[in-house]
Structure 1
Amino acid sequence: MAVDVTQILKYSMSTICAVAAIENLLAIAVFAGTKKLRNKYHVFVFNLALADLIFSVLAVVNPWRSSNILDGLLTGAYIVSILTILAVAINRYLALSLMQPARYDSLVTGRRLIGLCMICWCSSFVYGLVMYNAVPDWVLDTVHYFGGSLAGYIVWVITVIVYYLAFRKIKQYTPPLASAAGISANAERDQTRVRQTRRLLVMFVLILVTSFVSWAPAFALRVIVFFDQSLWRDRIFLASIWGSYVLYTLSTVINPLIYWWRLDGFREGFYAMFCRCKAETQEIEGDVTTFENTAAETGL
């Protein structure tokens, strides 16, 4: 019975990942084809969609044709996802509290954000490929399965703390001298900046919760089996492992739905690209001119 369940879980994982690959491919097309979304405000969202796309494509075949190279690439893709969610929190906190807007804009440019994403990709893939192809099994078990799983929890905790600090900074924000003459434009710009940042943070908090719920069981089972290697011969435990892998892949399906829900510009771009119609906009996005000016000025 356990073998049959395992087969069902493998087919379920491949099906879910196939759907996720289509969703994330459409999401990337919308981000690339919508002028309103092609700015550094959405660099990390695009990077997360790319990571989910690569992960889901590789995970479609992983249950049936697993290899060390494939496992290493899969590991690199989900590490990029975790680091991207953390990078958004740190970036938004820096923009809100540690620098003046002009100073922040001069230091945190779109090219540098893209460069940071490339560093994450390269280092994550190198780590994954080295772990699965160039180290002894005991190093893989100790460093990756055990240490990497604990590190995942630690990164989530750090990310939650940074998001909390960012939301606290937003809550405490008051436009400086907003009523004084001659600076109303700056005050309006700063208010728009805060609204956009709050909306982006809420979206990534939802993504963070989704990733934790999806990935935490698999990481927990890896820690458990590290202390009892005999569990790998238990059919019920193996079925549980594959069940956690199926849950693991759900975040790649859910994330594009969160983009659709939280990003009005994403919905507009999707309708314009695939339906040739225009979605209703909400106040948070504003008109195109306001959004582009604000994004360019504040570095969002």
Structure 2
Amino acid sequence: MGELTRAYIYRLAILFFCFIGAALNFASMFAMLCITELRKGRHVFIFNLALADCVSAIAMFIANIVDFPEVPFKKENLSAWLECLFTFSLVISLLSTLAIALERLMIFRVDNYSRQTYTARHSIAICVIGWIVFALLFFLLQAFHEIASLTLLYCVSPSVILGCIILTALSYTLIYKQIVNISNNVRPEDAALVRRAKSSKYVIVTFALVVASTTACWVIMCSVLLVEYIANLHGAVDPDTVDSVWFGVIGDLGNVLVCINIILNPTIIWLRLPVFRRQLPACCNRLGCRNTDESQDSAALVSSESPTAVMQPSISFMSTVMPDMTSAPEEDQIA
């Protein structure tokens, strides 16, 4: 396969997956803003995850149009700025999945943790501050300090992403152990609590799939970025290795997998989480001839709307009722 043919296949795959990912995440954000059942305080980080994935997909889409072979228009330094935006939004995405995991872990592990003291406004403030701080960090370095910017993009960012994946996996491991301990103390005759325990374990299976898929989609790209950084700035790796065809193919594969992960995040959320799945028919069919709210007993579903995201990752949702196994706390609406 010729170099030009491989470039065309790679660019077309990226454009396709980025378009689908941007559309799905934009639709998720729109649904969370418009549907009352989804406009809850516990979904703030899910919304932030969808926003970050949408921005990264759009940035990658535009960058690949600009860099597409034989494109008649080129703008100097545009690709560098788009790469900065893409990486910056991906870091926000992984931090969002970690924030969801840590929030669920605090519900299980921290005494007196309550939505009365930690509200939706706090979550929104954290997200807004994160976007502002990271945007200033990435774009100021891109504008004024090239070496520091390359270090941030090719070394710090992939390290942060890998760290987020590891911490998220550890968080859900601790949550799973807590659920097992609680489930072992549930009496078989207590049918409602047994259903809640099973529902929470179902969510944990979702998280396991998300963590696995997120790791598979991210580890190649992060490894490639770290190798490129070491080769270009420190000389510890032979530069000919980075310029080889096989290394370029691995890099292209890593980018494609990251774009696929952007699609997996909203897919897992809408198909696996009960609160989103209940609203899916209403989102697809706006005729109003079907009452989706009566399809399931809310007491049996647990409040298992915690995403993932992928790992994505899609690495996110967890039950908020398992600690006392009796009732779910009231959640504030975002708007």
Asked if Structure 1 and Structure 2 have the same fold, meaning a TM-score greater than 0.5 normalized by the shorter chain, the answer is: yes
The structural deviation recorded for 1:131 is 3.9
The separation in 2 between residues aligned to 1:2 and 1:240, in whole angstroms, is 14
Query: Which residue in 1 is equivalent to 2:114?
Result: 104
Q: Secondary structure at the match of 2:65?
A: coil
Query: Which residue in 1 is equivalent to 2:62?
Result: 61
Is contact 1:30–1:270 with CA below 8 Å preserved after alignment? no
The separation in 2 between residues aligned to 1:30 and 1:264, in whole angstroms, is 15
Is contact 2:15–2:64 with CA below 8 Å preserved after alignment? yes
Query: Which residue in 2 is equivalent to 1:220?
Result: 223
The separation in 2 between residues aligned to 1:206 and 1:283, in whole angstroms, is 26
Structure 2 matches for 1:252-263, cutoff 5 A?
252-263=262-273
The separation in 1 between residues aligned to 2:245 and 2:88, in whole angstroms, is 28
The separation in 1 between residues aligned to 2:194 and 2:111, in whole angstroms, is 16
- Over residues 16-39 of structure 1, what are the superposed CA-to-partner deviations in whole Å (9 max), with x where a residue is unaligned? 110111111222222222211111
Relative distance call for 1:95 and 1:194 in structure 2 (3 A) is farther
The separation in 1 between residues aligned to 2:27 and 2:248, in whole angstroms, is 34
RMSD: 3.4
Between 1:51-60 and 1:221-230, the stretch displaced more is: 221-230
Higher helix share: 1
Relative distance call for 1:271 and 1:63 in structure 2 (3 A) is same
Q: Secondary structure at the match of 2:64?
A: coil
The separation in 2 between residues aligned to 1:163 and 1:143, in whole angstroms, is 28
Query: Which residue in 2 is equivalent to 1:81?
Result: 93
Relative distance call for 1:124 and 1:34 in structure 2 (3 A) is same
Relative distance call for 1:207 and 1:177 in structure 2 (3 A) is closer
Is contact 1:52–1:77 with CA below 8 Å preserved after alignment? yes
The structural deviation recorded for 1:160 is 1.4
Structure 2 matches for 1:205-216, cutoff 5 A?
205-216=208-219
Relative distance call for 1:197 and 1:110 in structure 2 (3 A) is farther
Query: Which residue in 1 is equivalent to 2:10?
Result: 9
The separation in 2 between residues aligned to 1:118 and 1:197, in whole angstroms, is 30
Relative distance call for 1:41 and 1:267 in structure 2 (3 A) is same
Structure 2 matches for 1:1-300, cutoff 5 A?
1-65=2-66, 66-100=78-112, 103-137=113-147, 139-173=148-182, 202-229=205-232, 230=239, 231-275=241-285, 276=287, 277-279=290-292, 281-282=295-296, 286=300, 296-297=329-330
Gaps of 5+ in 2: 67-77, 233-238, 306-320, 322-326
Relative distance call for 1:117 and 1:234 in structure 2 (3 A) is same
The structural deviation recorded for 1:126 is 2.4
Match of 1:24, as an amino acid? N
Q: Percent of aligned positions with the same letter in both sequences? A: 21
Q: Secondary structure at the match of 1:145?
A: helix
The structural deviation recorded for 1:249 is 0.6
TM-score, scaled relative to structure 2: 0.73
Relative contact order, higher structure (CA 8 A, sep 6+): 1
Is contact 2:40–2:331 with CA below 8 Å preserved after alignment? no
| Number of positions where the alignment pairs a residue of Structure 1 with one of Structure 2 | 286
The separation in 1 between residues aligned to 2:179 and 2:227, in whole angstroms, is 40
Q: Secondary structure at the match of 1:64?
A: helix
Is contact 1:260–1:266 with CA below 8 Å preserved after alignment? yes
Is contact 2:88–2:135 with CA below 8 Å preserved after alignment? yes
Match of 2:29, as an amino acid? I
Query: Which residue in 2 is equivalent to 1:181?
Result: none
